[in-house]
């Protein structure tokens, strides 16, 4: 059995383990949270290095993406460097392939309407594939990078603006401790309503679930949420707040949608290729073979 382990800076309360068979290969897929403790994440990776088939880096991105550029996050690079034998991925490969395909799939094959709808993508530099796909749907997209990552009430209305801003800001913020950019550890359990106007004006809210959850208002009536990494408790929370439809871009495995980093680790193992040789086309080919389709939960039925 192949083993893929996501080592996350997130809360250990969200840990999960499941066995699954994908393309005839049996996997043990596991998530280990370190409650925001970067040194513990490094220690865990060192202990498992060479003993598992692939690592996923959870609760952190290795890069921010904007336009044709990517920006290395210093703290995440420290964690990744702990893996000397086992390959480690952060999910960005799937964010640029699977999540782009999911938006195209939803637009063409489901009743979810994007054209002329107001869409809030909580962070474009975290999910640039989804950002580009959403911009092509004909919806009116707001990019919440400054709101959700930096707490500044400044909505961005175009990818060109995101790109220009990233060129100035990203080289600086990538050197900040990651805890200032993204909720880690116990902060992932907190919901403190803020910036409610941006939730209220949106028909569709997409992107990282912890960003969505962080400032989520009590009333989410009629909203469509497109995200992943949700637990059963998260699904119940969204239902209670009136969400109409939940879409998770990664498949449900025993009631849980794992992060893109985990699923990218699975695909890397299935490819049989070293990490240095894998290309987006390899992920595309495997995704077509597996025929991943998004999980869609309609709460009003």
**pLDDT per residue as tens digits for the range 37-85:** 999 999 999 999 999 999 999 888 898 888 888 999 999 999 999 999 9
> How does residue 108 score in pLDDT terms, banded at 50, 70 and 90?
confident
Q: Tokens at residue 222, please?
A: 């009629």
Give the pLDDT confidence score for residue 121 in this predicted structure.
98
Q: Tokens at residue 27, please?
A: 């996997």
**Look-up of token digits 């106007």:** 197
Structural domains of the chain, ranges and CATH numbers in brackets = 2-91+257-295 (no CATH), 95-252 (3.40.50)
Give the pLDDT confidence score for residue 153 in this predicted structure.
95
Give the pLDDT confidence score for residue 251 in this predicted structure.
79
Buried b / exposed e across 246-268, counting CB within 10 Å, b at 16+? Answer: bbbbbbebeebbbbbbbbbbbbb
Cβ-based neighbour number of residue 147 at 10 Å: 22
The rounded radius of gyration (Å) of the Cα atoms in the chain is: 18
Give the pLDDT confidence score for residue 73 in this predicted structure.
93
296: pLDDT strictly greater than 70: yes
**pLDDT per residue as tens digits for the range 133-142:** 999 999 999 9
**pLDDT per residue as tens digits for the range 121-135:** 999 998 999 999 999
Contact 266, 29 (CB under 8 A): yes
Give the pLDDT confidence score for residue 221 in this predicted structure.
97
Strand 54-58 and strand 2-8: pairing? parallel
Give the pLDDT confidence score for residue 168 in this predicted structure.
93
Give the pLDDT confidence score for residue 179 in this predicted structure.
79
Q: Is 292 exposed, middle or buried (0-12, 13-18, 19+ CB in 10 A)?
A: buried
Return the H-helix or E-strand segment holding 140. Answer: strand 140-143
Phi, psi of 8 (to 5 degrees): -115, 150
From CA 75, how far away is CA 71, in angstroms rounded? 12
177: pLDDT strictly greater than 90: no
Q: Which residues does 18 contact at the CB level (< 8 Å), separation at least 6?
A: 28, 29, 30, 253, 254, 256
Q: Which residues does 46 contact at the CB level (< 8 Å), separation at least 6?
A: 82
For the chain, how many helices (H) and strands (E)? 12, 15
**pLDDT per residue as tens digits for the range 178-237:** 778 777 767 777 889 999 999 999 999 999 999 999 999 999 999 999 998 888 899 999
**pLDDT per residue as tens digits for the range 5-49:** 999 998 898 898 999 999 999 999 999 999 989 999 999 999 999
pTM of the model: 0.88
299: pLDDT strictly greater than 90: yes
> What value, to the nearest 5°, has the Cα angle with vertex 261 and ends 88 and 132?
120
CA dihedral 69, 72, 76, 77 (to 10 degrees): 130
Phi, psi of 123 (to 5 degrees): -155, 110
From CA 117, how far away is CA 138, in angstroms rounded? 8
From CA 232, how far away is CA 239, in angstroms rounded? 11
Give the pLDDT confidence score for residue 164 in this predicted structure.
94
> How does residue 301 score in pLDDT terms, banded at 50, 70 and 90?
low
254: pLDDT strictly greater than 80: no
Contact 103, 137 (CB under 8 A): yes
Q: Which of 147, 295, 148, 186 is nearest to 235 (CA)?
A: 295
Contact 75, 60 (CB under 8 A): yes
Mean pLDDT across 158-172 = 94
Give the pLDDT confidence score for residue 300 in this predicted structure.
77
């Amino acid at each position: 059995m192949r083993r893929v382990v996501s080592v996350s800076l997130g809360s250990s309360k969200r840990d999960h383990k499941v066995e699954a068979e994908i393309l005839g290969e049996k996997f043990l897929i596991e998530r280990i949270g370190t409650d925001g403790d970067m040194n513990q994440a490094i220690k865990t990776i060192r202990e498992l290095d060479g003993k598992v088939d692939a690592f996923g880096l959870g609760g952190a991105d290795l890069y921010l993406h904007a336009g044709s550029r990517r920006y290395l996050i210093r703290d995440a690079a420290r964690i990744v460097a702990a893996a000397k034998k086992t390959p480690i991925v952060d999910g960005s490969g799937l964010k640029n392939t699977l999540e782009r395909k999911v938006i195209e799939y939803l637009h063409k094959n489901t009743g979810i309407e994007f054209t002329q709808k107001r869409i809030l993508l909580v962070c474009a530099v975290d999910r640039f594939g989804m950002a580009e796909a959403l911009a092509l749907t004909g919806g009116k997209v707001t990019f919440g990078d400054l709101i959700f990552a930096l707490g500044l009430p400044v909505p961005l209305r175009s990818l060109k603006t995101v790109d220009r801003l990233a060129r100035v800001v990203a080289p600086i913020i990538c050197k900040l401790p990651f805890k200032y950019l993204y909720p880690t550890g116990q902060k992932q359990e907190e919901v403190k309503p803020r910036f409610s106007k941006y939730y209220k004006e949106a028909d569709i809210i997409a992107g990282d679930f912890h960003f969505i959850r962080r400032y989520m208002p009590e009333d989410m009536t009629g909203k469509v949420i497109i995200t992943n990494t949700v637990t059963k408790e998260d699904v119940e929370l969204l239902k209670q707040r009136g969400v109409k439809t939940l879409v998770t871009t990664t498949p449900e495995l025993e009631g849980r949608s794992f992060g893109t980093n985990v699923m990218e680790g699975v695909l890397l193992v299935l490819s049989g290729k070293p990490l240095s040789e894998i290309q987006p086309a390899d992920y595309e080919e495997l995704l077509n073979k597996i025929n991943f389709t998004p999980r869609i939960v309609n709460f009003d039925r």
